[in-house]
Amino acid sequence: MHQRGPSLPARLRRIALVAALIALIPAILSYWGTMSEPSNSSLGIRSVEWLRDNGAAGLVARVESIYYTLTAPSKGGPTLRALPKVGYAGSAPRLALSPESRPARVESLIHPALPGEGVWHATRPSLASEPPILVTTLRDQPEYPRVVAGLAWIDTKRTTLTLNPGRLEPSVPIPRGSMDVPASERPKLLATFNSGFKLSDSHGGFAVNGHTYAPLRNGQGTLVGYNDGRVDVIDWRYGSTIPPGVAYARQNLPLIVEEGKPSPNIANSAEWGATVGNAVLVWRSAIGVDRHGNLIYAAGEDQTVESLARALIRAGAIRAMELDINSYWVTFITYGAPGAQAPNKLLEGMERPATRYLEPDDRDFFALYSR
């Protein structure tokens, strides 16, 4: 008896399946190659980043937005009874800094203030009388009384700030160095903290060691370091390459604080990143400068761009820019002893370990040293 072969529809289904598998081969090879590369990021994070970089950025953004909306805290409810302790032994230092330069206690947004709220603390016992870094915490959203932001004040006259390329960012050809805090520099290390978005998301520029590796854009918030050691946060107006005298420049979206006030565009969600915009509550970080030229870093869980901007203004910032977002990327670490010893995260909820920048990291970052 003659046995009939597969029907035409069955053959077409098989051909379609084989064609689909063949079409997937480049994607599978790309994914496998990316996952096989050296990295200190988790497999899940690298998988999400691969999707974002390979045509699924919109899908990832929608999923993240839904997730953050579902996990956002409820408004109102009981406030905290105590704030997390920060700095050396959780005690406030007796500051020998001049009255005109030392930061004032950050005024609470929720009354009455909790014990220690907005009070600055040193980060190292040996530097407690004249601390180059001070840290504090603040409840910065009255509608969410259990949400806490961490703040760090940096004396730029007694410190040196460097911008350090990571393994994958900036995603341009660049001499990457050790991609961590160099061992030779660790005796003077005071702190490290995260940089901005991936360049593909920030659409900004990157310059280091006096050379521009990704073109800078006018109108972008820029953390800039000068050859004489000064640093600033500015609205960039100098064209696509850094001018003489500039050591490095890192851009990330427009300023969120201008002339001591929130940016006029703070409510424009499209300005603040494709993933979560302005209003979604998420881990965020930012950096500002006060009227004395000192830096102020701010970060916290369940923050909007506006809440972080207002926290920075309360701490004295006259200009500020957003840095990276999401719990995996936001990191501020201080070191309680020379040689990168006794590392301590600004907020315990920061996901990455306190040793993050003591090994090669995927993202570019900032390191702060004593002069």
Residue 16 pLDDT: 77
Q: Is residue 80 part of a domain?
A: no
Give the three-class secondary structure for 52. Answer: helix
> Is 63 found in the same domain as 130?
no
Query: For residue 184, is pLDDT > 90?
Result: yes
Residue range 167-174: average pLDDT?
96
Lowest mean pLDDT among 142-151, 170-179, 262-271: 262-271
> Is 353 found in the same domain as 256?
yes
> Is 101 found in the same domain as 48?
no
How far is it, in rounded angstroms, from Cα 213 to Cα 215?
7
Q: Is residue 255 part of a domain?
A: yes
Higher pLDDT pick, 214 / 45: 214
| Boundary-marking domain end, from 20, 45, 71 | 71
**Average pLDDT over all residues of the chain:** 89
Global pTM reads 0.90
Q: Is residue 297 part of a domain?
A: yes
Residue 125 pLDDT: 87
For the chain, how many structural domains are there in total?
A: 2
Q: Is residue 291 part of a domain?
A: yes
> In sequence order, which ranges of the chain are alpha helices (DSSP H)?
8-36, 43-51, 57-71, 199-202, 305-314
> Is 356 found in the same domain as 228?
yes
Higher pLDDT pick, 14 / 317: 317
Residue range 323-337: average pLDDT?
95
Ordered DSSP codes for 193-219 = EE--S-HHHH---EEETTEEEE---TT
> Is 244 found in the same domain as 353?
yes
Q: Is residue 82 part of a domain?
A: no
> Is 112 found in the same domain as 32?
no
> Is 242 found in the same domain as 156?
yes
Q: Tens digit of pLDDT for each residue in 43-102?
A: 888 888 877 888 777 777 777 777 877 788 889 888 899 999 898 754 555 555 565 668
Task: Identify the domain containing residue 339 by its residue range.
Answer: 88-370
> Is 246 found in the same domain as 338?
yes
Higher pLDDT pick, 141 / 5: 141
Q: Is residue 205 part of a domain?
A: yes
Q: Cα angle vertex 46, ends 329, 321, to 5°? A: 25
